[in-house]
Amino acid sequence: MDGTAFLIGFTIMSLGSLAIYATGSKRPPTRHHTLLHASVPFIAATAYLAMAFGIGTLVKFDGTATYLARYLDWSVTTPILLAGLVLLAFHERRSTGEVGGYLTAIIVLDVLMIVTGLISSLADVPVIKWMWFLWSCVAFAGVLYLLWMPLRTQAVERGATLGAAYTKNIAFLTVIWFLYPVVFLAGPEGLKIINDPTSVWAILVMDVVAKVVYAFYAAANVDKALRDGGSTHDHDHIDA
């Protein structure tokens, strides 16, 4: 794999991080979303720089590569993206115990998904590889369950407009996150239907959508909900 894709990834992610910060809200109650979303491509830029220099790239016995920097990036950035959604579902509600509980549960499942995916990538005995792949999918299903069921109920209870913004954000996230196991399955770490450069380019495009495009989309939905929504304050009397 030549370094071009990785250097392009580094450039887009660094500029994306700056653009998200520059255009994002700097005032409460949405300032933390700007910070969370700007940090995600910043971390990815670091990972792409490492990959461009071959740092953390493991070439296995069968000649295929596992990019450790990519898994390290995902294990930090995906919890940040999920934290943004948990905080949105509980927007301005002071239920710290519940927020903490959901944050812990969703981050544990998510990190397990990434770590078991890495183990699957490294395993060379097929039955072991697919066992870990399936286990990673189980953790992924747990993440989606929390996003679509209990957390969505919380967001909708907070008010119709906030609920709608939350639902749009998780719908976008679900579609783009689904592509990751598909590309893994088709790529050199899985069934080897697509080669390494194709999978690197595909993941680059997906990463830009999941991190940078998503940040703008999510912020636009949240800002609109807070502007339009008297209903987002339905529960203020409970908060006060």
Among 17, 34, 64, 136, indicate the residue that binds ligand RET (CB under 6 A).
Answer: 136
Please pick, from the candidates 86, 109, 155, 207, the single residue that binds ligand RET as defined by CB under 6 A: 207
Residue 232 lies near ligand RET (rule: CB under 6 A): no
3-state secondary structure of 59: strand
The DSSP output letter for 211 is I
The reply on whether position 184 binds ligand RET by CB under 6 A is yes
Radius of gyration of the chain, Cα coordinates, nearest whole angstrom: 19
| Binding of ligand RET by 169 (CB under 6 A) | no
Residue whose C-alpha is closest to residue 197's, from 53, 4, 68: 4
- Site residues (CB under 6 A) for ligand RET, limited to 68-97: 74, 77-78, 81
DSSP string computed for 175-198: HHHHHHHHHHHHSTTTT-SS-HHH
Closest approach, Cβ 194 to ligand RET, in A, equals: 14
Helix H or strand E segment including 55: none
Please select the residue that binds ligand RET; options are 16, 24, 117, 188, rule is CB under 6 A. Answer: 117
Tokens of 69: 């920097």
Stretch that binds ligand RET, among 6-14, 19-27, 129-137, 149-157 (CB under 6 A): 129-137
State how far the alpha carbon of 31 is from the alpha carbons of 138, 150, 186, 211, 212, in Å: 33, 25, 39, 17, 17
Residue 174 Cβ vs ligand RET, minimum distance, rounded to whole Å: 10
Number of residue whose CB is nearest ligand RET: 117
Q: Check binding of 180 to ligand RET (CB under 6 A).
A: yes
DSSP character at residue 232: G
Q: Could you say which of 30, 64, 75, 120 contacts ligand RET (CB under 6 A)?
A: 120
DSSP codes, 24-75 = S--STTTHHHHHHHHHHHHHHHHHHHHHHTTTTEEE-TTS-EEEHHHHHHHH
Position 210 contacts ligand RET (CB under 6 A): yes
Q: Which of 6, 90, 102, 133 binds ligand RET (CB under 6 A)?
A: 133
Tokens of 65: 């590569």
| Residues in contact with ligand RET by the rule CB under 6 A | 40, 74, 77-78, 81, 113-114, 117, 120, 133, 136-137, 140, 177, 180-181, 184, 207, 210-211
